[in-house]
Amino acid sequence: MANPARVVVLPRETATLAIEEIDLPDPGPTQVIVRQFASGICHSQLHQMHRPRNSPVILGHESTGIVEKAGKAVNHVHEGDTVLVTWVPRNAVRAKALPVRATLETSHGTAQSENVFTWADRTLADEQYVVKVNPDIPTDVTAIIGCAVMTGAGAVINTAGVKRGNSVAVFGVGGVGLSAIVGARMAGANPIIAVDLDDAKLDFAERFGATHKINAAQVDPIAAIHELTPHPREFTIMKTPVAGVDFAFDCIGIKKTMEQIVPACRPGFFGVHHGGCAVLVGVPTTPVELSAIDVLINEKRFIGSIGGSCVPDRDFPKFLDWHREGDLDLDALVTKRYSIDQINEATAALESGKIAGRAILEFDHG
């Protein structure tokens, strides 16, 4: 049986995206075909679009849909199941083999996904990237759980392990940063400091739980964070007063922010406890220079978080519960919607900083 799909293709030689009508192959033993309702539009795809490549690429890595066909070895989902598609294996510990990447024949040549592709009204995905969910969930805004929510909130609750009363700063309050703020609020952090260059985005961050906001275009964010987070009666090995957050999250990944999150963290209280933890969440595109002496004598940590250290089988139900209970306002987090024919407009808006929160593609199946 035919599996017609409209698929966004990134050609090898240009960053202008093409939309092609392709007949997807039937799923292999561990694959499924998912008819999609909506897909998130992530900054990670901009990185893919602008780096060199030897072949065309199919893009997108978070969506909501319904299973239309399942391979013979797939047993955790069946035809008709509602699912979330993500780029992180749903349970890598239980996986018996490496996931199969989707490969499509396009007019631009053979195109392959990195893990999955969701900028398409139908997708072909390995079963490891498909998580069964309750069929009564909203089928549009939940599309962003598979990357934005997972990456931001997961970095806070899984990678960093933020606890009640910890102080948190989040650099960059797009879709991932806002999700990190929600995660910090759910963990009981206080204060939760939003750092960005845009006052409107900072105001928006308050809606998700930011208790303080810093416009880094107007003030030195490190000094401002230290002013907000003094630690009375604590001192460093150098006998200087202690200030700074317990956790600083960089949800951007540019050189400047990567170099700001370590000094934004508090030094250790000599002989009592370690210093703060800087967590890199955004995808870096440049090298970074850190002060090794700051890390050493103040016992700070600089760590990475990929996909929020999430296990989708475990974490997605929790995020859906947050949404159902009103703790994660996905309807507010999704601020822009596009059709698949508007994909170049959507990526241009994202690249120019015009998207607050997260944008999604919505697919019309007639």
Please tell me whether residues 107 and 185 are part of one structural domain. Answer: no
| Mean pLDDT to the nearest integer, 54-71 | 96
pLDDT at residue 64 greater than cutoff 90: yes
Q: Looking at residue 115, which CATH number applies to its domain?
A: 3.90.180.10
Please tell me whether residues 242 and 126 are part of one structural domain. Answer: no
Preceding amide of 191 cis, omega within 30: yes
Q: 199 versus 241: which is more confidently predicted?
A: 199
Between helix 199-206 and helix 175-187 the angle, nearest 10°, is: 30
Q: How confident is the model at residue 71 (pLDDT cuts 50, 70, 90)?
A: very high
What is the pLDDT at residue 208?
98
What is the pLDDT at residue 366?
64
Domain of 83 in residue numbering reads as 4-139+329-362
Please tell me whether residues 167 and 286 are part of one structural domain. Answer: yes
What is the pLDDT at residue 266?
96
Please tell me whether residues 123 and 164 are part of one structural domain. Answer: no
Residue 320 falls inside a structural domain: no
What is the pLDDT at residue 365?
78
pLDDT at residue 191 greater than cutoff 80: yes
Please tell me whether residues 176 and 40 are part of one structural domain. Answer: no
Residue 313 falls inside a structural domain: no
Please tell me whether residues 158 and 299 are part of one structural domain. Answer: yes
Q: Distance between terminal CA atoms of the chain?
A: 19
CA atoms of 243 and 225, how far apart (whole Å): 8
Residue 358 falls inside a structural domain: yes
Q: How confident is the model at residue 324 (pLDDT cuts 50, 70, 90)?
A: very high
Q: What is the mean pLDDT of the chain?
A: 95
Please tell me whether residues 129 and 194 are part of one structural domain. Answer: no
What is the pLDDT at residue 232?
87
Residue 314 falls inside a structural domain: no
Residue 339 falls inside a structural domain: yes
Residue 261 falls inside a structural domain: yes
- Number of domains forming the structure of the chain: 2
Residue 319 falls inside a structural domain: no
Please tell me whether residues 158 and 279 are part of one structural domain. Answer: yes
Please tell me whether residues 95 and 51 are part of one structural domain. Answer: yes
Please write the tens of the pLDDT for every residue from 31-43: 999 999 999 999 8
Please tell me whether residues 22 and 99 are part of one structural domain. Answer: yes
| Mean pLDDT to the nearest integer, 339-348 | 97
Do residues 349 and 359 touch, judged by C-beta distance below 8 A? yes
Residue 316 falls inside a structural domain: no
SS (H, E, C) the chain: CCCEEEEEEECCCCCCCEEEEEECCCCCCCEEEEEEEEEEECHHHHHHHHCCCCCCEECCCCEEEEEEEECCCCCCCCCCCEEEECCCCCCCCCCCCCCCCCEEEECCEEEECCCCCCCECEEEEEHHHEEECCCCCCCCHHHHHHCHHHHHHHHHHHHHCCCCCCCEEEECCCHHHHHHHHHHHHHCCCCEEEEECCHHHHHHHHCCCCCEEEECCCCCHHHHHHHHCEEEEEECCCCCEEECECEEEECCCCHHHHHHHHHHECCCECCCECCCEEEECCCCCCCCCCCHHHHHHCCCEEEECCHHHCCHHHHHHHHHHHHHCCCCCHHHHEEEEEEHHHHHHHHHHHHCCCCCCEEEEECCCC
Q: How confident is the model at residue 92 (pLDDT cuts 50, 70, 90)?
A: confident
Q: Looking at residue 290, which CATH number applies to its domain?
A: 3.40.50.720
pLDDT at residue 1 greater than cutoff 70: no
Please tell me whether residues 189 and 132 are part of one structural domain. Answer: no
Q: How confident is the model at residue 98 (pLDDT cuts 50, 70, 90)?
A: confident
Please tell me whether residues 57 and 184 are part of one structural domain. Answer: no
Any idea what the Cα angle at residue 297 is, between residues 296 and 301, rounded to 5°?
Answer: 45
